[in-house]
Chains A and B, each alone.
Chain A
Amino acid sequence: MKLSQDISPIVPRCGGYPHRLIRTCVLLLMVGTHLALARSAGETLSLTIASPDTVIRESNLVLLVTMTNRTTQPMTVIKSNPGCDFSAEVHDADGKSVPLTNAGAELSRCGNRLMPGRWIRVTLKPGESTDETYPIDLYYGLTRPGAYTVQLSREFPSQPNHVVRSNEVLLKLAE
């Protein structure tokens, strides 16, 4: 028998009042990359992704996502399963969408979670950041060599229609 039920892993509140979640996700690559911050003026949420200058040789690539509170209010973020917290759009060099691997698809079925498992509640003051890892190879099994563009997004339960998107990062993967 299977039990399933919706559960909201993120409950952002500030002093009891729901507020707009505004945050920045900065996607870093763990392989000695540098950040190139770029924010769009006027946006309450900025997303900046830096791509590496060099070719990536790691076999299990993990992306580092930095989330920054760009609002003027404290913000609560829950880190649970990265495959549930984030969605990724991955395209190959021909622009074709790269599907999730079987394991990745299995690990990303998050719609009916009764238990979020890992549950790290972080309260960010305005301007504060916290980072999180996203094991992209676990979900997409990117073949080497190859070049891929990756964009991450995250939905916030308090505003289900508000999806925060990162800009695209180009991954050049060596064999």
Chain B
Amino acid sequence: MNISYDIAYRNSGTQTMGPLPNAFCFTITLAGLLLPSFLPNRVPNIDSKPIVPVVTIRQIHEVFQGAAGEFEIKIDAEGRFSPITLRIANDVGTGRASFEDGSTEKLMTESGNVQVRGITSSDLPGALTLTAWLDGAQQPAATAFFDVIAPAPEPRIYFEGIDVTGSRQSVIVGQQIQLTVVLHPSLMIEKQEWSIGKQGDYTGGFLHTPFQGGPQPVVREGSTTIFYWVTPGDDRVVTYRLRLPNGVSAKASVTFDIDGPSSTQVDVDAEKVAIDAAPGNSSVLGLTGAGISFNARYFLPEGVAKNFIWVQVIQSDAITVNSGGVRLHCVPKTQPIASFGAGLDTTYPYDTHNPTLDNPRIQLASDIQEYSRRFHARMFLLWSSGLSNSIPVPLGFVDWSFSGDVVLKDAKSNSWLLKSGRGGPDNSIEPFTRAPIYPFWTSLVPYTEVLTCN
């Protein structure tokens, strides 16, 4: 595939230059790379003055690193003229080249071809120049822009502005890892992608709005990838691979050692289900005391701050009421409407203190004869390094539930009888599941105002 583009023209200052004709456009070809360019600065030949030759430079063969490319130098002049000086220069970038003898200057007394040897591959297109100078001139008579092409692509991985290719990096879970590969812009790439490792060990981000939340995918195609390690571990290799249209491929890798909380444990204590008195002669069904408590502990690397980010997702919350012989099935209002009253519990985060608590209380109205509630929730524990651009990482979760069935004893005194009730972790022996699973929700359960019943 060819790329053609106009290039900036370096005017000698003594001539009037119009727009470049098409013939003066660059053509860069990949693999077999042909990059001819020739920019003649036509100097008018005035009879009364010394002979000024017209010089053109045309690239015949690409300049590869460690090999010679070729340029054709045409000197068009009638009669004798002073030798032309050819110069190789590099204004910016990494590209370096010289003539066959190692010099960057060469005299030409007649038309002919010159060999240019590539020393260091270019990182910017057209940053190298081969110029032809007339004796005493302030501007070149002709200029050719060219590149030194690497014999094979050599991708380099940059992390926080540093070349980390082949190195080992120490980071912490949740830290933003932005890796970038810088390649020569003229390189035509058929495919490039990143392999990061085992799914679940990393994420592309963590979205948490009131109405939706969850892990985000990683963009693994392209020269840049951004991700976050979710789990601690050593020797995690991230590899960048590219393939060219001609089948040539190349890769680069960097190894990560990831630190973070370890040996996380959450102890769960639950009180009994009870009917509690509330202000205004009302009764409340819930857990006694402060309710269920979640007490977390973990080990942290030295110098890292301890914090607790609790996020609770309601799996289902079903309330059945018997009102005047009519049985109604209700769920708390959710936004947007979700099945089973599922969604983020109230707010993100649920709490940032340790231990945290909950108590699924429901006020009992005396115009209802029976209440029955089945509540299932998952309390997630996350941790954040606090580094800028970092995200919280999940440490695990506790599945727990609450159920209670009550019947009205006396409407006047609003007194109730507890028929049955249970509250606590679903797994009383090992309530905490250590797993790097992010909370996920698509609606909010604000627990405001009303129940939705049918």
Closest CB of chain A to B271's CB: distance in Å? 11
Shortest Cβ gap from B207 to chain A (Å)? 11
CB atoms of A3 and B335 under 8 A apart: no
Bitwise interface map of A from 68 to 83 toward B, beta carbon under 8 Å scored 1, else 0: 0000000000011111
Cβ contact within 8 Å between B447 and A117: yes
B-contacting 9-mer, from A48-56, A90-98, A118-126, A165-173 = A118-126
Interface membership of B279, Cβ < 8 A: yes
Q: Say how far A130's CB is from chain B's closest CB, in angstroms.
A: 7
Is A41 part of the binding interface, using a Cβ–Cβ cutoff of 8 Å? no
- Whether A83 lies near B446 (C-beta < 8 A) is yes
A120 contacts B453, CB within 8 Å?
A: no
Q: A106-150 toward B: CB 8 Å interface, digit per residue (1/0)?
A: 111111111111111110000000110101001000000000000
Whole-angstrom CA separation of A5 from B365 in the bound complex: 7
Contact B280 A82 (CB under 8 A): no
- State A60–B452 Cα separation when bound (angstroms): 29
Enumerate chain A residues within 8 angstroms of B278, measured Cβ to Cβ.
7-8, 11
A1-17: CB near B (< 8 Å → 1, else 0) gives: 11111111001000000
Given known contacts A115-B361, A118-B312, is B448 in contact with A107 (CB within 8 Å)?
A: yes
In the assembled complex, the Cα of A80 lies from the Cα of B335 at a distance in Å of 17
Which one, B346, B360, B365, B445, contacts A3 given CB within 8 A?
A: B365
Which residues of B have CB within 8 Å of A174?
none
Complex-state Cα separation, A51 to B245, whole angstroms: 58
A82: chain B residues at CB < 8 Å are 347
Also in contact, A81 and B356, with CB within 8 A (given A6-B280, A11-B278, A133-B347): no
Q: Which of A2, A11, A81, A130 is B347 in contact with, Cβ under 8 Å? A: A81
Q: Are B453 and A81 in touch, CB under 8 angstroms?
A: no
Of A6, A8, A84, A118, the contact of B345 (CB 8 Å cutoff) = A118
Q: Are A119 and B360 CB-contacts (below 8 A) given A8-B278, A82-B347?
A: yes
The digit string for B15-56, where 1 denotes a CB below 8 A from any CB of A, is 000000000000000000000000000000000000000000
Tell me whether A115 and B363 are in contact in the complex, defined as CB-CB below 8 angstroms, given that A4-B450, A109-B448 are known contacts. Answer: yes
**Given known A-B contacts A8-B278, A115-B362, A3 and B347 have beta carbons under 8 A apart:** no
The CA-CA distance from A1 to B363 in the complex, in Å, is: 17
Within 8 A of B (CB), among A1-38: 1-8, 11
Residue pair B279, A8 in contact (C-beta under 8 Å): yes
Residues on B with C-beta less than 8 A from A163 are: none
Q: How far is it, in angstroms, between the C-alpha of A113 and the C-alpha of B321 when the chains are bound?
A: 16
With an 8 Å Cβ cutoff, the count of chain B residues facing the other chain is 45
* Contact among A79, A107, A111, A131 for B446, CB-based, below 8 A: A107
B447-A116 in contact (CB<8A): yes
CB distance from B281 to the nearest CB of A (A): 11
- Considering the chains assembled together, what is the distance between the CA atoms of A113 and B351 in angstroms? 21
A157 at the interface (CB under 8 A from B): yes
Residues of chain A within 8 A of B328, CB atoms compared: 1
Q: How far is the CB of B32 from chain A (nearest CB, A)?
A: 50
Residues of A within 8 A of B351 (CB): 79, 118, 120
Closest to B290 in A: A121
Query: CA separation between A130 and B352, bound complex, in Å?
Result: 10
A101 to chain B, nearest CB (A): 12
Cα A119 to Cα B287 with chains together (Å): 11
Q: Is the CB of B321 within 8 A of A121?
A: no
A116 near B361: Cβ-Cβ < 8 Å: yes
B431 within 8 A of A: no
The answer to whether residues A110 and B449 also contact, given A103-B335, A115-B360, A116-B361 and a CB cut-off of 8 A, is yes
CB distance from B279 to the nearest CB of A (A): 5
Q: Which residues of the partner chain A approach B312 to less than 8 Å between Cβ atoms?
A: 118
A7 to B452, CA, bound (A): 17
Q: Mark B319-360, 1 if CB is under 8 A from A, else 0.
A: 001000000101010010000000001110111110011111
Closest to B286 in A: A119
Apart from A3-B321, A5-B282, A107-B444, list 14 A-B contacts with CB within 8 A: A6-B280, A7-B282, A81-B446, A82-B347, A107-B210, A109-B449, A115-B360, A116-B447, A117-B346, A118-B312, A118-B345, A133-B347, A133-B352, A157-B279
Give me 20 A-to-B residue pairs in the complex whose CB atoms sit less than 8 angstroms apart, sorted by A's number. A3-B330, A3-B450, A5-B363, A6-B280, A7-B284, A8-B278, A60-B209, A79-B351, A106-B335, A109-B449, A113-B449, A115-B451, A116-B447, A117-B448, A118-B312, A118-B351, A119-B357, A119-B361, A120-B351, A121-B359
